[in-house]
Amino acid sequence: MTNRITVAAAEVRVNDHIYNGPAINAHPTNAWETISEVCVEDGLILLITGDKKGILHGEFWFEPDEQVVVMRYPAASA
């Protein structure tokens, strides 16, 4: 089960999912994408989906205290 939650951008974690869509068209690939990297650049939070080194990645820039809606899976119990 996943939970859609609202957190400050500084609290987003790798493997959270962020909504990327639909922009000017409702293409089905514009949907929830997995955060693969969280960085701080010039005081802003940079969330990266996909492979940062590759051509096909997404970037989302936020202020650290800006509210972001993500989907987060509960931690697996050992």
Domain residues of the chain, as ranges?
Answer: 3-72
Instruction: Using the structure block, give the residue that is written with the tokens 């955060």.
Output: 35
Instruction: Using the structure block, give the residue that is written with the tokens 């939970």.
Output: 3
What's the start-to-end Cα distance of the chain, in Å?
A: 17
Say what the pTM is.
0.79
CATH code assigned to 3-72: 2.30.30
**What's the rounded Cα separation, in Å, for the pair 12 and 68?**
8
Q: Give pLDDT tens digits for 3-48.
A: 889 999 999 999 999 987 655 555 555 578 889 999 999 999 999 9
Q: Give pLDDT tens digits for 53-75.
A: 777 788 899 999 999 989 998 87
Q: Beta-strand (E) ranges in the chain?
A: 3-8, 17-19, 32-41, 44-50, 57-62, 67-72
